[in-house]
Every structure is written in structure tokens, then in C-alpha cells.
Structure 1
Amino acid sequence: MKKLGVLAIVLVGAFACWLLWPQTSSPQPSPKPKTANSDITLLAAGDFIAHDSINMAAKQPSGSYDYLPLMDTFTPIFRQYDIRFCSDGVLNGGTQFGVSGYPKFNSPTEFVDGMTKVGCNLVANGTNHSFDRDQSVINATADAWARQPNMLAAVGLNKNKQDQQKVHVFMVKNTKVAFLAYTTYLNQDAPAQNDYGVNVFSEDFAKSQIAEAKKQGAQIIIVSMRWGTEFSSQVNELQRKDASFLAAQGVSLILGHGPHVVQPVEKIADTTVWYSLGNFLNTQLQPETVFGGLAQITFNTKTHKITKQSFLPVYAHYEWTADQAAKEDLLARKNVKMYLLKDTTQALIDKQQLKTSVDAQRQRLQTIVGPNVPLSN
């Protein structure tokens, strides 16, 4: 019995030493602490445009539509960011209103689903195309966005005057962020049908909404602006005037779109202005419309200032033959797919019948956004 007792004591002691001894196998790193003062990261994309060829590429044998495969390689990129801004360039009222591309757009509601699935959670949906159809299609588009999960806000289209007056303020990492969205113009062949369906910019309207955002305690104010000269990388005087006005009201960030090409990034007082983010998902013809990028912006939650920004170049690919391109047989465009510019090959560009190169487009984009905004991979 004595021997057994001694053995038991030895075993207990050995077990205790084993528990106390540092373990060297399979170490588990401690998770990084998430603090209220961590940075807020924002990714911003330009226009998602449901051209006829994009609708055709998304159409399934069942008759439904699935747009995510056209851009799914970007889902893990989008999901890295707290705020993922996207510009919805056209109406998305659904098939019951008839699906059509340029010049009078209306997409299936699955286009909205695709934008959400790729990662968009902050959306500007009021544009120059908002009155391509009637108010019922605007209502259906607004409803499609209202059904999306995990949205911070979708702003620009309104079902009534009460919707139009609402100022959207939301919390990100214990920081109050306001989001406002306007278009400065409507297409001549799609004039306003009422005074509330889309947020048309005016200084009085914007000033009142910015004041309301501040009243609600917004610490960061983001404004989306549909403006600029189509297909021009030059900022026009009206853009500068409106940007200066918004800067004087104390907004933090202006995200511009509408020209379909990238424009410069500037700072006016404490306001950062991305004059045009260009296009994201689209099948337009000019090289400048399919080579664009994503703005990468970091806010400090203590100062509410932008501390870092860069530009991630992207490429919207499709294919057609030289003969089809010469004839502008737009419905012949196929194999639509979004790529990072770093993953783009000359063979892909050649299949699009574009007389350019990855290096030429990278240099062009860097020249346009300016030396203070580096291109990332």
C-alpha cells in the first residue's frame, strides 16, 4: 500500500508539472483586439451599369438572372472593408416592366441582388437615368434595395416626399456616419416627372440635409454626386463650384460619378473629393470606360479625418471579334468578367479589340488621380 501511495503522489506531481510547463506544440495566436478607436475602412466603386450585353451574360437557362459570376472575384476584396460604396447607374425595377439597356434602362431586380452579393453596402441609386421609366419603376427599384440585407443605406431614389427628406445616419465602429446622394442633371430624353422621385442637387437642398446630418450628430459626412462631363477625365467648372460649396458646408468626402471615366482626386479645405470613380461593371466601348478602379480610403475614428487613400485598378472585360467591333454589334459582346488590372493579360485586352496595354492604362490612371493617391496592386 505504501508503494502504491508513493506512486500516486509521483504521478500527481508529474501531471501538475505537465500542466504548468509551457506547451510548445500547435501554438494558438491570440486574436487581435477590436477597439472602438480602430480605423474605418471604405472602398468605393463607380458605376454598375446593366447594359444589354450584361443582362444577356447574366441570364440563366431558367429565365432568371445571376450577375454575381460576372464579378465574384471581387467579393473577398469588398468584404475586407467596413463601408463599400457603389453607384447603381440605372433603374432596377424588375422584369415585369420589361428589361432594357441603353438608352432607356431597366434591369431585373437580380442586378441589385448581385451588387449586394459582391459586397456593396452603401449605394447611390439616383442618376440622370432615374426617369428613364415612370415613378412605378422608381418605386420598384427602391423596394428592391430596401429588401437587401446588411445595407447601411441606399439613397437617391424616393417613393414619396417623406423619403426624399430623410437624412441617413448610421453607426460604424462607434462613429456616426451620414450619407447623402444627389444628381446634378437628368437626361434630356428622361426629364423629371415629379419633384421627389430622385434627389436633384441644389445648394439649398444639400445645405439643409447637411445641417440635419450634423444635428443628428454625424461625425463623418459622405456625399455622392452625379455630375461631370461624360467621357471626359477633366473636371468641369460646375463640378468645382459644387465641390467648393459642399466643402464649405463641412462634408468629409465627396464621391463623384457620371463621366464613366476616372477623374482627379483633390482636397478642398478639409474635404477630399474623388471627382469621378469611373465605371465598375459595364460594357462600354472606350478603353477609359473599362479600365477604372476602386478608391481605398481610411478614416481615423478619433479625428474623423482621412489618414490614407489609394486606388486599386480594375478592368471590365468582354469579348467580340474585330468585325463585330467595327460594326458596333453591341449584342455580340460576351464573356463579361471583372478583373483586377494586375491579373489582366494582353490576350484578354486583344479579345476586346482594344489598342492599349496594362502598362499604358496603369500609367494613365496614376496620372489622372494624381501623385498623392498611389495605385495599389
Structure 2
Amino acid sequence: MKKVTYRLLITLFLLTIIGGCGANDTKIMQTAGEHQTYRSTIDAKKQIDWETSITVSAIGDMLIHAPVYRDAKTEDGYDFTPMLEKVKPYLQDATVTIANQETMIGGEELGLSSYPQFNSPFAVGDALKEAGVDVVTLANNHTLDRGEVAVQRAISHWEAIDMMYTGAYKSEADQERIRVQETEAGISLAYLSYTYGTNGIPTPSGKDYLVNRIDREQIAGDMAKAKDMADAVIVSLHFGTENERMPNVEQKDLAQYVSDLGANVIIGHHPHVLQPLEWLTGEHGNKTLVAYSLGNFLSSQKEYYQRIGGMLQFTLTKTGQGDNVEVTVEAPTFLPTYMSYDNYADYQVLPLFNLPNGELAGATKEYRDIKAHLSQWMPELRFIEG
């Protein structure tokens, strides 16, 4: 996990430097990977002005069809790392990176399987970890494809590689534990994840903890706890209509509800195609960044828009004085990606901005159109092109 520690260390350090400051002294500290500025001024109340920021990235669906895991087969098992090699620098260029693991990694011993009931190798998780992913969301319509055993085996592996997971859980106590990540910059993040359903597969009796479903009462309760525990809350919603490039009424309505609850960022999955980004204003005046669908990241779906995915990146900035602090979402940025493969082999996720025309006919025009589609409600959206 990149750059994670307790804020207590920062607090102790600040108290130390305050003791050595004069009435008008200013101390500035910067660390690699984040921007931190601490302005400590001694006054009658000995309060501290504080500003710090981190970057967060999120990618779309890791949807491991049979051709993908067959292409990853090696003499010793499976290796998905070459598929992510071209985008690895971008995944690592953030304080925190989040992925939507659409298929359970129940492992080979359970028997690998593809659509409509997926089970993927443990090595998918290893590749994400190696590429720089810190958190995986697990609540989706395929969570229960291979039953409780696949969920439990997957979670055991996520724990073995020290990967934070949310949305599917091993027990009721595990579900009740809100996932909170502390960063070295002094900003804490809470992660929540929910799905509209599980393709008609019922949750085993008494084991609702296996997957979080979209239930407004549960979301409200989880949000209340998360806001008390963390500076910012990032909510993953598995919703929408497959292959539709625009969010539907239900998506818009639920996103507004979650914004009203105080979410800082909403990350959407399930349509398997990119949908536009948008700012929402919650009922208390808070701003929420919404990506209705990040599309597929790694998959074997073959339609053009199903092969276009991407990585959303944004900055979280925390400012304030004493206990009066505010966290804002700033500088949304996007890296469109293309799922490259030939005859269901040689799978690679490639940045779209420098994709050669030989890889995709009219690549330059297609890239321009994707940028226009994503930014139609957010003209200030920037794109990573280097």
C-alpha cells in the first residue's frame, strides 16, 4: 500500500516545530508524492493552519474472460503483469489507486471459469498489487457467480497480499468494519462499495455480508459512520445499463442521493463502456465528483466502446485551522485506455493518446471523440497525454 501511516506522527512533528517558532515564523515541509504545506504561527490560541493534498486514481472493470486467463498461462501458473505493463507507470503515479475487480479470484483449485459465471486465478490480484493498485472494490453482479467458497477464497488471497478490499466480506464483523486508509499526507479515506444485484443468484441465508447490495438505508448508515471516521469518502456503485454510453435516470437519481449524504467521489461500474463525468452538489452544498462508468480496463469484450476504458485521477486537498478543516476534490484528470489483442491473444492495456493508427484505424479521431464524450458535462476535465 503506497504512502500509508497514522496522522499521529504528523501531529507530534508539528507540535515539536511549533515550540521552536517565533511569533511570525513559517515552516514549510514537502515530501515526494504529495504536496504538504504546514504554516505554523504562534498566537494566543496556538492554532495551526494546515494544507495537504494527495492524488487518487481509479480504474474500471477487471473482467477476466477465458481468453484473457489463457493468454496469461505460463509453465508455472498465470502471469497477468505483462498485460498491465504499458499503464503501470500511470497506476503508480498516485498516492492511492483503486480497481474494480469484477470477477472473484477464487483460484485454480476451484476451477477457472468465464462468462456467465466467472472464477479467476489468484494471479490477477498479484498483478494488480505489482502494478500499484492499493484497494479493490468487489460488489458487483458477478460476486456470487461461484458461491460463497469463491468469495471466501478470494478474500483470503486479498488478505495474503495485503490488499484492502470493500463490498464483499468474509463475515458480519468484517462487513461492519468500514475500510479507512490513512495516508502520510494526513488525509484519511473511507471506501464503500455496492451493487444493484447478482444476476439473480440469491445470497445464502443469513450471509448478507457476502456482498453489499444497493440499499439506501444501509448506504446512509455506512456513510454516517464513514464520515465520522475519515476525511473523505469514496463510494463505488455497480449500476446502470450495459453498453449504454450515457447514465440512465436511476444512476443519476442514486448518485444525487449519495452526494446528498456527503460523498466526496462516486465511481461507477457495470455498463462496460465509458460514461461522462459530472460534478454534483449535495443538499448541504458539498461538491461530489461522479464518474458514472469507467468502462472495462482488462477484458475480452470485442465491441469498440467495450475496449475503451480508462483511469480517473483527482486531487484531494485538506485545508483548515485547528479542528475546522475542509476536504475538497480538485483537478479531475483522465487517461483513456484501449484493450489491445489479436486473435484473442497478446492482451495489453494501452494508453489511447499515443495509440498508432495501425492498432486502431483513425485512432487520432477516435481519441478526440472519446475526450469530447467524457468532458461534455465537465469542460475543465484534463487528459493525461505523456
**Normalising to structure 1: TM-score of the pair?**
0.82
The aligned residue for residue 346 of structure 1 is 357
The one of 56, 68, 77 aligned to 1:42? 56
Structure (1 or 2) with the greater strand fraction: 2
**Distance in 1, Cα, partners of 2:134 & 2:160:** 12
Q: Which of 235, 240, 250 lines up with 1:228 in the alignment?
A: 240
Residue 316 of structure 1, aligned match among 331, 339, 343:
339
AA of the residue aligned to 1:140: R
Q: What are the within-5 Å matches in structure 2 for residues 73-92 of structure 1?
A: 73-92=86-105
CA positional deviation for 1:166: 1.6
Q: Does 1:61 align with 2:75?
A: yes
Mapped partners of 1:231, 1:257: distance in 2: 11
For residues 334-373 of structure 1, the C-alpha deviation after alignment (integer angstroms, 9 at most, x for no partner) is 11111111231122236xxxxx634224313422332231
Cα deviations by residue, 1:134-191 (Å, 9 ceiling, x for unpaired):
1011000111111123x4x210111121112221112121112111111122213x33
For residue 33 of structure 1, report the CA deviation from its aligned partner: 2.6
Partner of 2:309, secondary structure, is strand
The amino acid that maps onto 1:267 is W
Q: Gapped runs of 5+ residues in structure 1?
A: 1-31, 321-332, 351-355
Number of residue pairs matched by the alignment: 325
Shift of 1:228: 0.7
> Is the alpha carbon distance of 1:369 and 1:184 closer, same or farther for their aligned partners in structure 2, counting shifts above 3 Å?
farther
Aligned residues of 1:232 and 1:261 also touching (Cα < 8 A): yes
Aligned-CA RMSD value: 1.7
Q: 1:105 aligns to what?
A: 118
Equivalent residue number for residue 367 of structure 1: 373
Q: Find out whether 1:72 has 2:77 as its counterpart.
A: no
3-state DSSP of counterpart to 1:342: coil
User: Gaps spanning 5+ residues in structure 2: where?
Assistant: 1-28, 38-50, 282-286, 320-325
Residue 299 of structure 2 corresponds to which residue in structure 1? 282
> Which whole-Å CA distance do the structure 2 matches of 1:113 and 1:171 have between them?
22
1:175 paired with 2:198, answer: no
Q: Is the Cα contact below 8 Å between 1:224 and 1:256 reproduced in 2?
A: yes
Q: 2-side partners of 1:228 and 1:275: how far apart?
A: 8
Alignment of 1:130-279 (within 5 A): 130-149=143-162, 151=163, 153-172=164-183, 173-188=185-200, 190-193=201-204, 194-216=207-229, 218-269=230-281, 270-279=287-296
Q: Which residue of 289, 292, 300 maps to 2:309?
A: 292
Distance of 2:364 and 2:202 partners within structure 1: 39
Secondary structure of the corresponding residue to residue 39 of structure 1:
strand
In 2, Cα distance between the equivalents of 1:368 and 1:80? 22
For residues 368 and 80 of structure 1, do their structure 2 counterparts lie closer, same or farther at Cα, with a shift above 3 Å needed?
Answer: closer
Shift of 1:45: 0.4
Aligned-residue offset at 1:275: 0.6
Higher helix share: 1
1:353 corresponds in structure 2 to: none
Alpha-carbon distance between aligned partners in 1 of 2:330 and 2:264, rounded to the nearest angstrom: 12
Contact residue 235 and residue 266 of structure 2 kept, 8 A: yes
1:169 aligned partner, one-letter code: V
SS of residue in 2 equivalent to 1:208? helix
Q: Which amino acid aligns with 2:342?
A: E
Q: CA deviation at 1:52?
A: 0.6
Query: Bigger radius of gyration, 1 or 2?
Result: 1
User: Which one-letter code corresponds to 1:92 in the other structure?
Assistant: I
On the 8 A contact 1:292/1:365 being kept in 2, the answer is no
Q: State the AA in 2 paired with 1:306.
A: V
